[in-house]
């Protein structure tokens, strides 16, 4: 089973998770505002009837907002900067739960990998992936992409 999801459905899942988990409101963004440099990226692999990778790329400001809201910190608290990467990593983990459920259903045996977070000079290209671009009212952008792994030959 290929790990494929429609871009608008992926956008819906990310939007809902940002609202439910972190009280951050976004809308699909086309054209997407440019990313500043650097950006933060969190990604993990997943396996089940199919396999692939889920990645989130966002601005440091949005990641700090995630940290503030997930951890109950005041915006501007220096701790939000220190924990922005960890917060983005945990957010991709939570998102993976709903993406994997969407892809394979509740009965499938699935495995979600450990998130990796890194700072990038520029957002990675998304060749072969389903990509959803969202932005907050303040223009802070977050991209989600699901990249299916190549199918093994029978």
141 contacts 135 by C-beta, under 8 angstroms: yes
Spatial distance between the Cα atoms of 28 and 114, rounded to a whole number of angstroms: 27
Spatial distance between the Cα atoms of 97 and 75, rounded to a whole number of angstroms: 27
| Residue 43 vs 83, nearer CB to another protein | 83
| Residue 76 vs 97, nearer CB to another protein | 97
> Comparing C-alpha atoms, which of 119, 118, 121, 97 is closest to residue 46?
97
Tell me how far, at minimum, the Cβ of 104 lies from another protein, in Å.
Answer: 8
Tell me how far, at minimum, the Cβ of 70 lies from another protein, in Å.
Answer: 6
Tell me how far, at minimum, the Cβ of 97 lies from another protein, in Å.
Answer: 3
| Residue 29 vs 93, nearer CB to another protein | 93
| Residue 32 vs 77, nearer CB to another protein | 77
Residues 6+ apart with CB under 8 A from 101: none
Binding positions for another protein, rule: CB under 8 A = 17, 20-21, 67, 70-72, 83, 86-87, 89-90, 93-94, 96-98, 100-101, 106-114
Q: Residue for token digits 């223009």? A: 139
- Its sign, for the CA torsion 77, 83, 88, 91, is negative
Tell me how far, at minimum, the Cβ of 124 lies from another protein, in Å.
Answer: 23
């Amino acid at each position: 089973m290929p790990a494929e999801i429609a871009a608008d459905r992926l956008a819906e899942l990310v939007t809902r998770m940002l609202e439910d988990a972190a009280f951050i409101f976004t809308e699909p963004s086309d054209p997407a505002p440019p990313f500043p440099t650097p950006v933060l990226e969190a990604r993990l692999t997943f396996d089940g009837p199919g396999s692939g990778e889920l990645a989130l790329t966002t601005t440091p400001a949005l990641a700090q907002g995630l940290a503030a809201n997930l951890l109950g910190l005041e915006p501007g608290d220096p701790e939000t900067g220190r924990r922005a990467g960890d917060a983005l990593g945990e957010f991709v983990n939570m998102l993976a739960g709903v993406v994997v459920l969407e892809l394979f259903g509740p009965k499938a045996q699935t495995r979600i990998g450990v998130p990796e977070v890194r700072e990038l000079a520029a957002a990675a290209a998304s060749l072969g992936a389903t990509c959803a671009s969202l932005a907050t009212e303040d223009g802070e952008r977050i991209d989600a992409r699901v990249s299916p792994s190549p199918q093994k030959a029978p």
